[in-house]
Chains A and B, each alone.
Chain A
Amino acid sequence: MSPPRLSIPLITTLVGTAGALAAGAAARRWLDAVEVRGGSMAPTLLPGDRLLVESSTFTRRRPRAGELVLAPDPRDPARELVKRVAAADSEAGKLELRGDAPGASTDSRAFGAVPSASVQWRVLARYWPPSRVGRLDG
């Protein structure tokens, strides 16, 4: 089986770019890789997808509606969630989080809005699987 066209150069580029940034990034930890579990973000994200995430943007500004973010689960802060910002209330400093599969997602409808300040990581891109490599930041 041959790999899908374009995906190898894309991966090389992504990994190469990431590698070039690695020294500084690893030290400061503003770029990281995560793996998705669960299906509440389908069809955008599927279980097993690997994502590049960064934590620099939200030091400059608050998350905006429509962005894919990582957030600690308010009911179990040791667990990190990946959800989409459905609405941002800048006055209250709160975010409404939703799964892209609202029929199969536990999100702000269950646990309420989360503090904007608790959301530090933004999803940049998917680098795995090769067939679905691509940007996810808009």
Chain B
Amino acid sequence: MSLITRLLRPRRIVHAHCDIPCGIYDPEQARIEAESCLRIIEKHDASDDKLFRARCIHVKEERAELVKQHLDVLWHDYFKPEHLEQFPALHETFWNATKQASKVKQSLDVAAAKELLTMIDTIDDMWKGTGGLEKTRVSGRPS
């Protein structure tokens, strides 16, 4: 194949490679599940129905588990070493937040569920600070 042909349509592909697709991780996922936990605890406390209360506990534990999963994925798949330089408290923040999610899973403590939301918001600030918002959210979506 002549160089001219190759210039017009190179068949040799070089990869500016990244293992991790950007723009698909959003702390909103964890936040939504954590909000569910809080609301479910409130509904549990407001009810006298034994069966309903049991269901609340069951669903709340499921949602809390999802919080942990979403935070874990965000932590090890989205955040990179240079983000840690930017936010030295990153690891500790995630550690504390996932521990808090465990606490919410185990208890019916409204304050613990609210604290989890605050912790997710701290992570959200870091995510936004690394350009996550611009890379992830489709335009037109409120921040």
Contacts and interface: CB of A to CB of B under 8 A. Distances in A.
Interface of A: 15, 18-19, 21-22, 25-26, 31-42, 45, 47, 50-53, 70, 73, 79-83, 99, 101-106, 109-110, 127
B6 A110 contact: no
A36 B3 CA distance: 17
B83 interface: yes
B15 interface: yes
B10 A34 contact: yes
Given A33-B12, A103-B82, A103-B131, A40 B7 contact: no
Contacts of A70: 14
A68 B93 CA distance: 37
Residue among B3, B13, B131 with max Cβ neighbours from chain A (10 Å): B3
Interface residues of B, number: 23
Contacts of A80: 12-15
Contacts, number: 103
B40 to A, nearest CB: 36
6 contacts: A15-B4, A25-B3, A36-B14, A50-B7, A83-B16, A103-B22
Contact of B16 (A33, A41, A50, A52): A41
B36 interface: no
A18 B4 contact: yes
What is the predominant secondary structure among interface residues of chain A facing chain B?
Answer: mixed
B84 to A, nearest CB: 12
A118 to B, nearest CB: 14
Given A18-B7, A40-B18, A104-B22, 19 more contacts: A22-B3, A32-B6, A32-B10, A34-B14, A36-B13, A36-B14, A38-B15, A39-B16, A39-B22, A40-B16, A80-B12, A80-B13, A81-B14, A81-B15, A82-B15, A101-B18, A104-B18, A105-B16, A110-B19
B81 interface: yes
A83 to B, nearest CB: 7
B16 A34 contact: no
B16 A32 contact: no
A27 to B, nearest CB: 10
Given A19-B3, A26-B2, A103-B130, A73 B17 contact: yes
